[in-house]
Amino acid sequence: MKIYRIYINDNTLIIADKLPEQTEIIQTIEEKGFNFKAFYEKLGKLSATPHAIISEDPKTLFQKIKKSLTIIKASGGLVKNAKGEYLFIFRNKKWDLPKGKVEKGEGMKEAGLREVEEECGVKISSNNERLCKTYHVYEMSGKLVLKRTNWYSMTVKGVPKLVPQKEEGITKAEWLSASDLKPVLKNTYPSIVDVLKAGKLIKEMF
């Protein structure tokens, strides 16, 4: 199944060739005549119910939506230490993973490594394969922005002390084991759940 997820505040727009199996109710939308900006404006009046467009060609529809938005590239990491624990940060009253915008002339992988090291005060020893991409839409200076974040699997040597970058609004940085993720899952973003599924920390349900 080919599936794309665009996160918009508490809402999710799913673009797929068939409806994913899940327990939540999904509101389906007609593909014909779909206008993303009009959909975004209506969302403020709708409850946080996942919406889905079922398309014979999800990739083409997703590319069309992307072209209508301003793209910002970001990169981040799911970092594992020598004890098998993972690095999480607490920012803006939610659990998150370290990430940030890609600078001009910088590669995605390179940007992810730099952002993790800057935000948590660690030295990354390996920056392995890309786990997934996530997409988040928000408004900035009157424009609709699509932030595309590449997520990479990373490791550090030993169990280094973490130094949260307070000027970036990070109040805590902690090493957590896969069995300690209940508080994180109760208070994080849907896109972070996608990264944890891609990294096999939690089960992929659909």
pTM value is 0.91
* DSSP secondary structure code for residue 33 in this structure: T
Structural tokens at position 143: 């424009």
Residue keyed to tokens 């090493």:
175
Q: Pairing relation of β-strands 126-140 and 3-8?
A: parallel
Segment 82-116, tens digit of pLDDT = 999 999 999 999 999 999 999 999 999 999 999 99
Segment 8-44, tens digit of pLDDT = 987 899 999 988 776 578 889 999 999 999 999 888 7
| Domains by residue range for the chain, with CATH | 3-67 (no CATH), 74-198 (3.90.79.10)
Segment 72-88, tens digit of pLDDT = 999 999 999 999 999 99
60 by DSSP, 3-state: which?
A: helix
